[in-house]
Chain A
């Protein structure tokens, strides 16, 4: 009998990492805890980008779903006084998925640079709408996110509760992402990159596979945006701006596409490098980030994640 999928010690490592992250607030200062939570929330969006990247599709517009998730939280909290995360988060996921399904019908017909540019254009349309419709969106001021509550309880230390909420939901995102990558659809997305003719001659549709993946990707990204809104306490049109989309692609390349954990590793590395670059070289922090990415691409072309897998594979 042929070998089954290679057995992995990843689940064990994931549980250990989760446990370590859970006790982190006991030892580290609040701002580091906040930074990790922010990195994990944005990591969900990067995972969304990676789901498409594995099919050779670069979404330069994933800030669209990041913003939709964030503004769902912002609207509910600011306009309707609903700060309940158990209401806002599922709603953010559903709205992101519905928008992804509608836009995906159009996007799934495009490949390469056309897919990248069209996704960028769509996110910039949302950016413009958020800026122009002041009464509706708060314009460039954005919306503040007030009254965070979880299961009806308004916590005395929302930062800590939000950290654990992000942790639990990141574990859920990793689980869903892991199942996606190991599923027929996850593999079919890789197949899209190599040969669409064979897919059609197997009786399947590359466009349908892209559409389905795009919906899952959009939903996961919307959740990332919603969590970020709670963490930051404010949403603004910049969330939909192309620079954010570029960051998500940047982090996807930085982390690699080899595992469901890669986007999270990339996201944490990115937030910390960016933070310290801003601190130590406030005028040249973009240069520092650029050099960092160049070094990673040169020495670890498959991303930071491949560094970890290489260390793990090293003979003892």
Chain B
């Protein structure tokens, strides 16, 4: 039997009386692309926070390639090969786009505490250049992140997590804040690159068009529980999902 990329086993997380994630089990195999859908507050982002160790589950455990990573914290989870992008981009607002990318390159290559060699190293610059070109951010490289439009910040946030060359990539609403015109081009850039590297991807998304087009499998959340899990078309066709996610009667 092959070991799954990620195994979430009977995980619950309560905030006081609210059970944000309630006895959730989910197994994702290597190379899969899974889209998570659900209304606001259904537990999608909490699940990502639990997988990356940002939150400790109230009960249950999480295995990454068979290793227990329950609650070990984002830094150690990232070091094992899990990267994450955020619904609200997490960037260094006062620094330039290029600074943000170069810091990611330096930390990823184990140079976070290097206080002697320059951050602006030739080899790192060419790597940053390639990344910025791929994500159409080259023109904004020398501008500060605070001056970047929301869509640009979102793309940069995703780009930084891709830069880490993860085995598992978790994306929280990668296209929210990106203009309708640009969202497909972002995903068209991103998804083939991830597939090419066989990066297992789990992404939370409200936009069902994006789910239909880019996910192989959909997982629907409602009230902290998984109410459907399977091929995208099947999940979206289920009455319970249409009721809970689309609000259909």
Contact = CB atoms under 8 A, between A and B. Distances in A.
Interface of A: 1-5, 179-180, 182-188, 190-191, 193-195, 197-205, 208-209, 212-213, 216
11 contacts: A184-B111, A184-B112, A186-B115, A190-B92, A190-B99, A197-B74, A198-B92, A200-B73, A200-B75, A203-B75, A205-B112
Given A188-B103, A188-B107, A212-B113, 16 more contacts: A1-B125, A1-B126, A2-B132, A4-B125, A183-B117, A184-B114, A185-B115, A187-B119, A188-B112, A190-B92, A190-B95, A191-B103, A194-B92, A199-B107, A200-B73, A216-B115
B129 interface: yes
B113 A202 contact: no
A190 B118 contact: no
A86 to B, nearest CB: 23
Contact of A193 (B94, B104, B161): B94
A296 to B, nearest CB: 21
Contacts of B56: none
A213 B125 CA distance: 24
B116 interface: yes
Interface in B171-226: none
B79 interface: yes
Interface in B73-90: 73-75, 78-79, 83-84, 90
Contacts of A191: 92, 95, 103
Interface of B: 52, 73-75, 78-79, 83-84, 90-95, 98-99, 102-104, 106-108, 111-120, 122, 125-126, 128-129, 132, 138, 141-142, 160-161, 164
Contact of B75 (A3, A179, A195, A205): A205
Contacts of B129: 1-2
A186 B116 CA distance: 9
A203 B95 CA distance: 19
Contacts of B111: 184
If over half of A's interface residues share one DSSP class (helix, strand or loop), that class is named, otherwise mixed; here it is helix
A189 B141 CA distance: 20
Contact of B119 (A184, A195, A204): A184
A213 B112 CA distance: 11
Given A2-B129, A3-B142, A188-B107, A183 B95 contact: no
Given A4-B125, A179-B115, A188-B103, A198 B98 contact: no
A209 B92 CA distance: 15
A195 B102 CA distance: 15
Nearest to B81: A203
Contacts of A203: 75, 78-79, 107-108, 164
A260 to B, nearest CB: 13
A199 B114 CA distance: 15
Given A2-B98, A194-B94, A200 B74 contact: yes
Contacts of B126: 1
A289 B62 CA distance: 59
Nearest to A6: B142
B159 to A, nearest CB: 12
A203 to B, nearest CB: 4
Nearest to A215: B115
